[in-house]
Amino acid sequence: MGQQSGGAAIRVGVIGAGVMGADHARNLHGAVVGATVTALADQNRPVAEKVAAEIDAPRVFDDGLDLIRSDDVDAIVIASHDSTHASFALAALELGKPVLCEKPLAPTVDEARRVVQAEADTGHPLIGVGFMRRFDPSYVDLKQAVTSGDLGDILVAHCVSRTVESYPGGDSASTVTNSAIHELDIVPWLLDSPITQVSWHAGRSSRNSGTRQDPQLLLLRTESEVLVTVEVFLNARYGYDTRCEVVGEVGTAALTLPQRIVVDRERARGVAYPADWIPRYADAYRLELQEWVDALRAGRTSMLATAADGLRASVVAEAVLESMRSGGVTVDVPN
């Protein structure tokens, strides 16, 4: 839990005022203790100005680099286009300013590696990566079930990640690097063991998905020899749905569909699915930001995914893409 009176608020600058950036800015302003949004940046300046007005943020920039250099900014949230993540992160590291970078840390492994190296050169863990599922109360409970020992050693796990519809412009590869990437981070976190082997599988594809293979099936193996199936289906239509079951020697545990009320109507008993990730992970985003700010104020390392975690997820994603390009062969993930 945060520290409100114990020191000045962290002055945060948010780069990117799209859906994710605006959501972070609003959370920092209205739901996270100990931070104040002092600046917003967006290539499309009016978008940034609109959000800034809404939350009384005093400064607006066109260029994220100007925001990073601003004396009014202590810490930076990077929520701009994926292709810009690495260069903004490197600029912040140069000034020794802490960063919360939306996933992915970088679109390519090489760039991610460069960021990890640059952070190492500073000697400080300045970068947190926005794998927010680590702060989702359901995943936290699931991890607690795993570590409690109540299930025995974990042997197998099954993940499902379905969304209502894919964003325009993506392809089969971006399903892995943008969507499945969440599983590539959360599975090792949950099982406390890195992914060492992957394969990619495809069958019939939805007619709603154009040329993108959808759904896709990944088969992962952790260093601890746990087999993990991952179904990613972006145009599942029926709802936004994250599932995960871990199967141990004496029991299993699984995420439930978050549900507050149940409704009986028209011959059915039903529970509503969220339409997208915003309602599903609202608590996770808030708690992630609060932990980030609390750690900054306390001068301690946060519990966010590290730059190394972000790099590792990208390395695993690259191995999945190699399997995809090679007709589904099993690929060892390089160290």
**Within positions 126 to 185, which residues make up the interface with its own copies, using CB under 8 A?**
137-138, 141-142, 145, 150-156, 158, 160
Task: State yes or no: residue 211 binds its own copies (CB under 8 A).
Answer: no
C-beta separation of 157 from 218 below 8 A = no
Give least dist CB 208 to its own copies, A.
Answer: 6
Size of the site for its own copies (CB under 8 A): 91
CA distance 65 to 39: 12
Closer residue to its own copies (CB): 87 or 229: 229
* Shortest distance, position 253 Cβ to its own copies, whole Å: 5
Half-sphere exposure of 263 (CA within 13 A, CB side): 5
Residue 272 touches its own copies, criterion: CB under 8 A: yes
Residue 1 interacting with its own copies (CB under 8 A): yes
Q: Residue 263 interacts with its own copies (CB under 8 A)?
A: yes
Which CB atom, from 123 or from 260, has the smaller least distance to its own copies? 260
Q: Which of 88, 131, 273, 277 binds its own copies (CB under 8 A)?
A: 273
Q: How far is the CB of 120 from its own copies (least distance, A)?
A: 32
Q: Using H for helix, E for strand and C for coil, what is the string for 146-178?
A: HHHCCCCCEEEEEEEEECCCCCCCCCHHHHHHH
Q: Binding segment for its own copies among 89-97, 172-180, 241-249, 303-311 (CB under 8 A)?
A: 241-249
Is residue 19 a contact point for its own copies (CB under 8 A)? no
- For position 215 contacting its own copies by CB under 8 A, the verdict is yes
Residue 112's Cα: distance from chain center in Å?
A: 15
The distance of closest approach from Cβ of residue 93 to its own copies in the complex, given in angstroms and rounded to an integer, is: 27
By the 10 Å C-beta count (0-12 exposed, 13-18 middle, 19+ buried), 5 is classed as: exposed
H-helix or E-strand spanning residue 38: strand 35-41
27-86 residues near its own copies, rule: CB under 8 A: 28-33, 35-38, 55-57
The footprint of its own copies on residues 289-318 (CB under 8 A) is 290, 294
Q: Which is nearer to its own copies, 237 or 325 (CB)?
A: 237
Q: Which is nearer to its own copies, 159 or 308 (CB)?
A: 159
* Torsions phi, psi for 189 (to 5 deg): -60, -45
Place of tokens 């300046």: 45
Q: Nearest distance from residue 20's CB to its own copies, in Å?
A: 17
Nearer to its own copies, 39 or 118 (CB): 39
- When the beta carbons of 173 and 202 are compared against its own copies, the nearer one is 202
- Burial of 264 (C-beta count, 10 Å sphere; 0-12/13-18/19+): exposed
Q: Is 238 in the site for its own copies (CB under 8 A)?
A: yes
- Which of 8, 46, 123, 204 is the binder for its own copies (CB under 8 A)? 204
Q: Which helix (H) or strand (E) holds 37?
A: strand 35-41
Is the link from the previous residue into 137 a cis peptide, with omega within 30 of 0?
A: no
Give whichever of 113 and 221 is closer to its own copies, judged by the CB atom: 221
User: 170-188 burial by CB neighbour count: b if 16+ within 10 A, else e?
Assistant: bebebbbbbbbbbbbbbbb
* Residue 297 to residues 8, 138, 148, Cα–Cα distance (Å): 8, 27, 31
Nearer to its own copies, 131 or 139 (CB): 139
Q: How many angstroms separate the CA atoms of 162 and 180, rounded?
A: 10
Closer of 151 and 308 to its own copies (Cβ)? 151
Is residue 250 at the binding interface for its own copies, with CB under 8 A as the rule?
yes
Asked whether the bond before 215 is cis by omega within 30 degrees of 0, the reply is yes
